[in-house]
Chain A
């Protein structure tokens, strides 16, 4: 039997937050850099809307969108792993008890 230790329930919340927020943050910086070196913010306004957004605002908003995407992805990864561990731990508990 594979032993899974420590129990994922015991991971402190701060570390879970770091695991979700931090990799997505780093990824968002890279993604923002690549994206905006290829596209100019003024070319991205949809439907020819007359919106005046400063470049710094556009880059910032772009960064946060990328960060949000990364957060969703990282959170999903963490959720799958933790719920998987919980199931395995439960099964293991049944076997050992």
Chain B
């Protein structure tokens, strides 16, 4: 969609903000959006309480530096998986944008979802659009203060719950709740609860559509993913114009009018305050509130529905709909390949890591038996959720001897074991000053848990 217009009216990009009072609307798409809001908020608020094997199912444990995602435990070393997940999330956004337009903005974006929730509370307390506008214009009175105070109290309580839930994704939420009631919250936990609460309160209560207009990068570049076959919310000017009021049941065509009765409801329900009849605008978050509002009017007037509807540029011009297009297929292919790589990597991932650090204080030393000895510190990371026992051996030099104080090493689940080992070799077998050696770690109780780590063995070299 190359020709996205900027609204140059009173709500232009750099115009002073005017408060928008979205009118309540009902209809198919509104129900769909509400369903999405309830499901997504439900997931957000309940997810931290879901358990998995005696722990929180989804927990980004920052102090312990471990991310638990259901059966999966990710360590800082697994950062790549999270990065891949984020890239996939971005690509999915591209894919769905190309196919369905700004469906993310209208139905799933946290900004939209929380704004809907806050707007719902506002409606319940302050009343419908007309009453809200009247209340704001009214001079300060005890009743106005009472209503406003009630609204903000409800908003703040909801915000605090939201902030608490947010921190519950990073600190086990049952413990967090316990500490909340005993007043033992840490300073930073308190801070982040308040920070996220404040952000929610500000963004969903006050900023609302301004976040989409001034803060959201996606809103600015989403048009790059659009083409003439992308689903958009559009007004049908050929049918609607010239707009004008008329009596019900009169022959509007004889009066030289189009189907639009100019009731302005599509403008009043718009959460971003635009007029969809001006054409596609970057402020439009495709929430389809105007579709429901217009369809209701069309029903009342006994006109066919769809003066404002989901369509594509090509469909609107009568060129038909094309779902499978190169752009969509390219996004889908990249997405599938990445998904395949991620899943296969996760399945093949060996939850075991071995770090070898050579003792830096001495290059090497000679033992009483005349062997050359190097000292290493080994860190065994058992990233599995079960404890394991391992056997260590070393290779790389003829007659290389591994000296440890234990035959089998047992490491607890999800923990690191540190040990010092010595390697001894005969000077005659050392070809150079520095010889590559390798440590082989093998779990005795699980065949697939094995790892090889390279290291260097230093000696005097051939003289």
Binding site for B on A (CB under 8 A): 6, 10-12, 14-15, 18-19, 22, 33-34, 36-38, 40, 54-57, 59-60
Check A14–B17 contact: CB distance below 8 A. yes
Per-residue 0/1 for B163-187: is the Cβ within 8 Å of any A Cβ (1 yes, 0 no)?
Answer: 0000000010000000000000011
B120 at interface (Cβ–Cβ under 8 A)?
no
Chain A residue numbers with a CB within 8 Å of B17 are 12, 14
Residue of B12, B14, B17 most packed against chain A (CB within 10 A): B14
Check B189–A56 contact: CB distance below 8 A. yes
Taking a contact as CB atoms closer than 8 A, the residue among A10, A12, A54 that contacts B63 in the complex is A54
Binding site for A on B (CB under 8 A): 12, 14, 16-17, 62-63, 65, 76, 79, 82, 171, 186-189, 191-192, 214-215
Given A38-B76, A55-B63, A56-B62, answer yes or no on A22-B189 (Cβ-Cβ < 8 Å). no
Chain B residue numbers with a CB within 8 Å of A40 are 65
Check A18–B14 contact: CB distance below 8 A. no
Chain B residue numbers with a CB within 8 Å of A60 are 188, 191-192
State the CA gap A46–B278 with chains docked (Å).
Answer: 60
Check A56–B188 contact: CB distance below 8 A. yes
Check A37–B76 contact: CB distance below 8 A. yes
Chain B residue numbers with a CB within 8 Å of A37 are 76, 79
Chain B residue numbers with a CB within 8 Å of A34 are 79
Check A57–B188 contact: CB distance below 8 A. yes
State the CA gap A61–B65 with chains docked (Å).
Answer: 16
Q: For residue B171, which residue of chain A has the nearest CB? A: A56
Taking a contact as CB atoms closer than 8 A, the residue among A18, A33, A56 that contacts B186 in the complex is A56
Q: Which 7 A-B pairs have the closest CB atoms?
A: A55-B63, A37-B76, A37-B79, A56-B188, A60-B188, A6-B14, A22-B215
Can you sample 17 A-B contacts with CB below 8 Å? A10-B14, A12-B14, A33-B82, A36-B76, A37-B76, A38-B76, A40-B65, A54-B186, A55-B65, A56-B63, A56-B186, A56-B189, A57-B187, A57-B188, A59-B62, A60-B191, A60-B192
